[in-house]
A and B are shown apart, each in its own frame.
Chain A
Amino acid sequence: MKEQLANIKREALAAFEAVDAPAALDELRVKYLGKKGQLTAVLKQMGRLSAEERPAMGALANDVRTALENAIEAAAQKLEAAALEARLKAEALDVTVPGKTVRRGHKHPMYRALDEIKDIFVGMGFTVLDGPEIELAELNFDRLNAEEGHPSRDWSDSFYFDQDARVMLRSQTSPMQVRAMDTMPLPIRIIAPGRVYRKDEIDATHSPMFHQVEGMVIDKNVTMADLKGTLNLLAEELFGKGTVTRFRPHHFPFTEPSCEMDVQCHKCGGAGCPTCKGEGWIELLGAGMIHPNVLRMAHIDPEEWSGWAFGMGLERTAMRRFKIADLRLIFENDARFLEQF
């Protein structure tokens, strides 16, 4: 009997070792360990043994059973691992097949640039104002110290809705300075982005409608040095740390002193190239200290309060920021253009 058990064990272990499919393993399990299996058959002979022999033989039979069960377990695990490996192999993908499209919308580049500018100023404690585009000439001009006869008041330069030139399409966002002065408590820190209109034919650099952002601060002891500091910060945020700027004297009726800010040409670093028309600098915005007349007209005492203001064109900024060559692309809204941003 001992011999029988040893034979079963040897035979079975070899069979389990060689098994290559789960079904065959099941068959073997039945063959050796099933109710009618070989081991059971041997155990059934136990009754014939003497009482002395029985415990030893029983232990031996149990050992064989345990060994067989372990071997079955091992074989099963091996088969399972092989099956998994085979499945993973079969499931392998061509990872170069394109991913499934998730449609995403795109912000217009002009608004992208504007949102950057807004965030910069909101971070500095500015409020963002919206205002009317159909505006009183009084606010667009008179209250901004641009008296009758100022060239921008010409009917060849601005759009009007009545013969008296009372109501017009604002030619700048600057009337928002006046609206802020008239409605907000001092001190004031605002920016006012929006559409403006000038009588320019559409070409690569002009459009009768475009966008500006106005900025204004009124407080005690505001200086031109503050203006420069703030605008330098803006230039660095927009065009990167270390952006070099320069300030040039200019003229606007509503600021005195007035200036324009240039940024050094990114292409040539100031040496002069076609991008900057050989000047080494690219004009970014106009600014200045609020003209005392403008403050007086808003009943703000220029002896007590001072302020600065700036206005910048957004399309041009976006064009520079994203290297867009032609302004017409901005208003053409070709999906192939929009999807680039």
Chain B
Amino acid sequence: MNLSRKWLNEFVEIDAGDREFAEAMTLSGSKVELTHDMGGEISNVVVGRIEKMERHENSDHMWVCQLDVGKEEPVQVVTGAWNIHEGDLVPVALHNSTLPGGKKITKGKLRGVLSNGMLCSLSELGLDERDFPYGVITAAALLNDYHPIDPDKPSIPADIQPGHKIFGPVVCAGVGAVASAGRGRWSCGLMWVEDGSPVGTTVETDCQNIHSMDLVAFNIKTRTICTLADLHAEQKEFPHCIPDGIFVLQEDCKPGDDIKAVTGLDDHVVEFEITPNRPDCLSVIGLAREAAATFNKPCRFHQPEVRGGGEGVLPELLDVETPDPELCPRYTARMARNVKIGPSPKWMRERLRSMGVRPINNIVDITNYVMLEYGQPMHAFDYRYVKGGKIIVRRAKDGEELTTLDGNVRKLNSSMLVIADDTRAVGLAGIMGGLNSEIAADTVDVVFESANFDGTTIRKTALALGMRTEASAKFEKGLDILNTLPAVDRACELVELLGAGQVLDGVIDILNYVPQPTLLKVEPHKINALLGTDVSENVMYTILQKLGFETTKERGMVKVPSWRGDVKEMADLAEEVARFYGYNNIPTTLMKGQTTLGGYSPEQKLEQKLGSACRSCGYDEIITYSFISPTWYDKIGWPENDFHRKSFKILNPLGEDTSIMRTTTLPSMLDILARNYNYRNKDVRLYEVGRVYLPGGEDGLAGEAKVLTLGAYGEGFDFYDLKGTAEAILKDIRAEDIHFEGSLGAPSDVSYHPGRFATIWCGANQVGVMGQIHPNVAKSFGVDGELYCAELSFDSLYHHAMGADPEYVPLPRFPSVTRDIAVVCDEAITVGALEKAIRKGARGLLKEVALFDIYRGKGIDEGKKSVAFNLVLRADDRSLTSEEADEDVKSILESLEAECGAKLR
């Protein structure tokens, strides 16, 4: 919501500076986002009247102007613009002036001629044609400005003379006198030669760049002076016949006036963020109330007065029916006749502009003005098109169509509310009017609608049709039902004030719902108890009164103002008190009361432990999106009918890429690995404790399981690096009986390299998988190197891997004996199987087994390998003899041979 400080001051006089105003309003609850000093960068720019203009003697396109700027001496300014004429009022940036964008203007010479400043265009003042629609320039194609694209093949001869035919009915004509025809139109005397004799005529044109002595292209048939478009010419062929030029003022002003006041740039506009509970603050009056309470100033609100007396009897001309009263609690309408459509006055246009609303014509501008001032959306219909003089506020018929003011055809249904006449819909209630009853230049009789519609219906309709408008945004928040009448009166008052028409006596006012004022008990002790303050009863009442709450006779009760539908109970009153007592005056205390134990749950502690284990292994933590693209399941090689693909699907995703909730974290990790790979980051190690979202949870929700995902790549990084990390992490959480099983024989995970994949077990429970990513999967993520990942189920780790607290085991008191053995076995025998055989053969003395070498090659038969282990044997109660150790080793070797066919090398 934008607020013009000038408009605000009409209701409450506040002279605080921008910063002070913003701060005070923000702290009382109306958050100021920004303040625009509309003309803050403009200085020393005034209105000048062009007294005389002559062509520059050293230039083919410049003019030397003598300007009256309200001083004794005229000021000489050189300009390259062609749209100005003697007598025009234009903005003049004088010597030592400033313009938006930090531009500084000083005097200087242009091709030898002194220029004491600059004439300004709209854009140079920081304005555009939305601010001043009349500032748009229509340029005629001046033949004396013609520059052929190919100098050898001009389409218009360089020596063209009046009377030369250009094409069809278009001839070259010389311009004689040019005189203003008012409102930006010009009357030009034209002359040319026809059949050897001179012909002359006078035409009116919008083209502003025509001066005496120019040559124009004149269409004899249509009697128009041709623009570039008419000649199908390109801009570069007529380099000075451009739609940009000096802003020729049509405002009521005189030489010497400050341009900021003339163009309304002397205003400061405050941009508020209004919370949805305060639709009343989406208006100048609403914000004036807040400002008055904030600055402790009186408000001067104005009671609209309508003289009326227009011809006719309102009830005879107009009949309103509301067959769906619950959707239209109130409908108020008045009429104005003999309307003269035209631009609204400068003050009104300025105010609309400052609030970001584009001026259109007096009647439409009045409806917008009232909406901004009162916060009550208004609509104006052309009475001509309200057939049967009947307005029916009804549900649309299913399939009914209406072309709205924006030109779009809307297909309606019965959940939507329309304003209709006898035969058809003429507007979409509370959202936008219909094109069929739009106010046009020839509109004579106008119906002003000021109604209250059901917010939910408006919101749903706006949403369904994808057309949220300023009006609908207001209605959907719930508006003050008592506001419709003053608003429609204000509109009629403005019609009279602007002399735009005659207002009929009387008002049509259908009130389907009579609101009961809310009465609330003021309980100061409860308010203080909630706030932790000690605000006196008197202060509370003063604050509430300032905000329009009426104190009822029996003290202790207040009546909530009709525009404050958000105030319903004690807590709401407490907020009002707090806002104006000052949130920052509320003391700061620490909580009293029963202390609670607090802390982390065992699950949370495990999560923290896993994170620190990963980091101590050199892995960096990442965060990935929970939603993924369904194509990512293809990328990780999942078959099309894989049941794991069954995911929660977002019905209104931002895009396909973020449209389903992942059931695996693997592609998220691969995506990040691939990104780092593309960034040419060398050794990368990453981890994430993230969730997957599995259908089938309670209440139709998901089972949200956590997964610890590891991902890595880098020079020399291999399977065993990752396995070592997985082991270290598991050991860190004191997992026992950790083992890894290869995929040989068992079906492997399709995302992984089939020969470099393992399932991870703690005892009899699988806790995860790990391995090298399948080269095809890596390739689908754009990586041609080896990627490694592990996925560990958090739940499994929590239930099956998390070990008990450590318990001290006495240190060995007797020395151990070590023996190295090397056995030869088939290639297919795994180290895990050999280890198992070793443990099986041991007779209670074996304390440690450690692999130290695997050898293939010379001396070992093809298809065989030599595997060497270091064995540590020890007894807890005595020193071992060499014989005892040898006996154990013998037993171990027998087991190796029996279980694995492995023989001592």
Contact = CB atoms under 8 A, between A and B. Distances in A.
A159 interface: yes
A132 B701 contact: yes
A interface majority secondary structure:
mixed
Nearest to B599: A122
Nearest 5 CB-CB pairings of A with B: A225-B532, A223-B532, A103-B618, A105-B615, A249-B29
Interface in A63-113: 103-108, 110-111
A85 B617 CA distance: 41
Contacts of B614: 105
Nearest to B22: A279
A196 to B, nearest CB: 11
A130 B681 contact: no
B600 A122 contact: yes
Greatest chain A CB density within 10 A among B591, B622, B681 is at B591
A160 B651 contact: yes
Interface footprint category on A:
35 or more
Interface in B666-710: 672, 675-676, 679, 681, 684-687, 691, 693, 697, 699-702, 704
A163 B571 CA distance: 35
Interface string A202-235: 0000001100000001011111111011101100
Interface in A247-274: 247-251, 253, 256-259, 272
Contacts of A53: none
B459 A149 contact: yes
Contacts of A201: 654
Contacts of A284: none
Contact of A127 (B277, B589, B596): B596
Contacts of A331: 623-625
B434 interface: no
A253 B579 CA distance: 17
A223 B531 contact: yes
B353 interface: no
Interface string A145-167: 00011110011100111110011
A161 B618 contact: no
27 contacts: A103-B618, A110-B623, A111-B611, A123-B598, A130-B603, A134-B648, A134-B702, A136-B699, A159-B652, A160-B652, A161-B651, A195-B626, A208-B625, A209-B625, A219-B593, A224-B532, A226-B532, A226-B590, A226-B591, A228-B586, A248-B27, A249-B575, A256-B571, A257-B578, A291-B571, A292-B569, A332-B675
A199 B621 contact: no
B745 interface: no
Given A195-B626, A199-B652, A225-B532, A105 B685 contact: yes
A51 interface: no
A111 B687 CA distance: 13
Nearest to B650: A159
A223 B530 contact: yes
A128 interface: yes
A19 to B, nearest CB: 44
A228 B570 CA distance: 20
Given A123-B598, A130-B603, 7 more contacts: A126-B596, A133-B704, A136-B699, A169-B650, A219-B591, A226-B592, A259-B583
A128 B578 contact: no
A25 interface: no
A62 interface: no
Interface of A: 103-108, 110-111, 118, 121-128, 130, 132-136, 148-151, 154-156, 159-163, 166-167, 169, 187-189, 195, 197, 199, 201, 208-209, 217, 219-226, 228-230, 232-233, 246-251, 253, 256-259, 272, 289, 291-292, 306, 330-336, 338-339
Interface string B602-636: 01100000010011111111111111000000000
A187 B621 contact: no
Interface in B636-674: 648-654, 658, 661, 672
Nearest to A246: B584
B820 interface: no
Contact of B622 (A208, A209, A217, A333): A333
B58 interface: no
Contact of B587 (A105, A195, A225, A335): A225
B263 interface: no
A178 B626 CA distance: 23
A126 to B, nearest CB: 5
A209 B684 CA distance: 25
A329 B578 CA distance: 40
A161 B27 contact: no
B624 A333 contact: yes
Contacts of A135: 701
A105 B616 contact: yes
Contacts of B592: 221, 226
B476 interface: yes
A251 B681 contact: no
Contacts of B589: 223, 225-226, 228-229
Contact of A111 (B621, B684, B697): B621
Contact of B575 (A111, A256, A338): A256
Contact of B275 (A110, A159, A251): A251
A209 B616 contact: no
B648 A161 contact: yes
B162 interface: no
A175 B854 CA distance: 58
A332 B531 CA distance: 43
A248 B583 contact: yes
Contacts of A162: 651
Contacts of B624: 331, 333
A123 B599 CA distance: 8
A38 B686 CA distance: 78
A187 B591 CA distance: 12
Contacts of B463: 154-155
A335 B278 contact: no
A1 B738 CA distance: 84
A154 B614 CA distance: 41
Contacts of A336: 679, 681
Contacts of B579: 249, 257
Interface string B3-34: 00000000000000001000000111101000
B661 A134 contact: yes
A125 B676 contact: no
Given A103-B618, A128-B604, A189-B596, A159 B653 contact: yes
A163 B618 contact: no
